[in-house]
Structure formats: C-alpha cells, structure tokens
Amino acid sequence: MEAATGGEGGGERPGGFCGCKGIRSCLLCEAAPPPQKRDNFVYCPVTGFAVGEEQSEFWGWAFLFPGVFLLEDFISPAEECKMVELMDQSAWKPSQSGRRKQDYGPKVNFKKRKLKAGNFTGLPSFSQEIVMRMKEHSVLKGFSPVEQCNLDYGPERGSAIDSHLDDWWLWGERLVSLNLLSATVLSMSCDSENVLHLFPAILQQIPGSEPPADSQYHQSDDLAPAGLGNTTKHDAVSSPTRVIPSKEATVAIHLPRRSLVVLYGPARYSWKHAIHRNHIRSRRICITFRELSTEFSLGGEQEELGKKLLGMALTFQGTPV
C-alpha cells in the first residue's frame, strides 16, 4: 500500500483525536487524501473463483481463489443491535488510519516475540453464543478464540486498514471476522512473484461446482481448513489459457452486513487483506476472533502458556484491555 503524505498523526484535530503513527494517516491528519485503488477481480462465493471485474483488463477471465468461507446473515438484526449497544457501553480507543478499537486479548510484543496475560480477563460475555454458533460449521471445528478485536470504522474519519498479513507466530490457521452495521469490501492482494493461471470465466460453471440448495456460503461445511483450499471439484479446469504475475491481481470479497468470513490456507498466508476507505460508506464495526498457533497449542513449545490464556479467554467475563 502506498503511504499517504502530509500526515503526522497522534494529535488533536478539528474532527477529534487522531491515533495515527508513522506512515499511517486518516482524514483528521492528512493534508490530502491518497488515491484509492480499484480491485480488478471479484470473488464469487458460489463457485470459489475470482472473476475479472467488468471494467478491468481481466474481464472474461477467472482463477480459483481458495481459503475463503463466507456465511451471510450469521446473526439476526436484533442480535446485531444488542451487540453494538453493549460495545458502545465501553470506551473506544483511537487507533491507526481513522479506526477506533476495543481489545480483548493478551499483551503481545510481536517484534520480540513476548507474550503475557497483562490486563486480559477474557472475551466479552456477548461473544459466548457467537463462538458456540461458529463451531456448528466444520470449517470452524475446534475453533477456540483467545483474542477478540473490535474495530469501529467511520467515513467521517477516513477509516481504513492497510494491506497486511496477520502474524502467524502467535495466531493460528483461521482468521474469523463478523461484519456489522454496513456492507464493505475486503480487498486481497499478493506480493508474490509466482504466476496465476487464468481461465475463461465461462469455465467456472463446471459440473460439481453448484452449491447446495440451501447454501449461503462458499467452501461447503465438508471442507475443513486442513485441505488448505484444495478444492478437487474444480479439477476439471486443467488447461490455463493466460498467465499473469500474482501481484497484478487484487480480489474484492464483498462482505454483506451481518456476514461472517473466515480466511485460511492461501487466503490467510499468501494473500494480504485490506479495507479501503472508499468501501466505508457508513459506520461499520468488525469483530475479529483469533486462535492460537501450534506453538501455543497442545504439544507446542509454549503449550502451558497457551492453555492458561485460553482458559482466561473462555470465561467470557472480560472487559477491554
């Protein structure tokens, strides 16, 4: 992502307090807004393909995009309203790039790879039912979050989050996010020099690619993360007709209001994710849940510390740290 110029951040501005540091900026601290990028592929949750955007040079082309599970209407409007009401009863802290945050998790120094409980007292009570419901889907079998991060986005602040990969020393295979209050777009990009094999988009409609009749998501419940997106039902597509560098593709994953999205496998480890400010049209809250990596899990080098933190997290009696 290109850094915006003219922003110092970290001070009081006419629109309120800015939490930006370093190269980060928002509408409260920057001299001029940076140009906004446009994604050139759109993820299709029915087939699992990224399809060329109509106004891009890749219109008519597609490639398989594994590692995404998208479930619409994961919670009801009444549940959404109650959750937001409860979150707003706690203070929101200024964060980078025009966001506000509430953290429920251990104290971490990623550079030094140090971890301790700090002021962590567990995940909030309103998340207990949500976490139980997640486990009904086999892609989230055994998912036990040790951290919850609530992020509040607003167009008046120019809220966004730059393209990034989540840490994998501490955080595990699956990143789980619940999208509240408004629809948005998760923009995926890749810095790899590897190539992508594109196919005529018509080939995504192959036998076996149809979702179940009651499906509202891609990567059916029978597909567990261990498969890392090896969707054999698409093996019929075997003759690429166009090759491009991976870094030329940016994929838009449209997230409806109240939807749940899981990134794992290639979408977790090979593709960066971002939320661009032009995709924030009204207030949006994202709740992200993270599980522990193998180092802190059963049989891992720091299993005991992981067990302690997970025990605290799952009391569901926490307050923001």
Q: What number is the average pLDDT over the span 19-43?
A: 80
pLDDT surpasses 60 at 69? yes
DSSP state of 36: P
Write the pLDDT tens digit of every residue in 186-215.
Answer: 999 999 989 999 999 886 664 444 333 333
pLDDT-derived band at 164 (thresholds 50, 70, 90) equals: very high
The amino acid present at 237, given as its one-letter code, is V
Q: How far is CA 68 from CA 12, 76, 160, 254, in A?
A: 39, 22, 21, 12
pLDDT score for 25: 78
DSSP state of 6: S
Structure tokens at 103: 């953290």
Count of beta carbons in the 10 Å neighbourhood of residue 314: 16
Asked if 13 and 28 touch (Cβ cutoff 8 Å), the reply is: yes
Q: At residue 105, what are phi and psi to the nearest 5 degrees?
A: 180, 170
Q: Are strands 41-43 and 250-255 parallel, antiparallel or unpaired?
A: parallel
Structure-model confidence comparison of residues 286 and 234, the more confident one: 286
Give the predicted TM-score (pTM) of the model: 0.84
Structure-model confidence comparison of residues 224 and 182, the more confident one: 182
pLDDT surpasses 50 at 235? no
Write the pLDDT tens digit of every residue in 106-152.
Answer: 999 999 999 999 999 999 999 999 999 999 999 999 999 999 999 99
Count of beta carbons in the 10 Å neighbourhood of residue 311: 11
Write the pLDDT tens digit of every residue in 217-233.
Answer: 344 333 333 333 333 34
Nearest to 103 by CA among 114, 82, 118, 113: 118
The Cα–Cα gap between 254 and 206 comes to: 23
pLDDT score for 37: 75
Write the pLDDT tens digit of every residue in 306-316.
Answer: 999 999 999 99
HEC profile for 55-86?
CCCCCCEEEECCCEEEECCCCCHHHHHHHHHH
pLDDT score for 205: 61
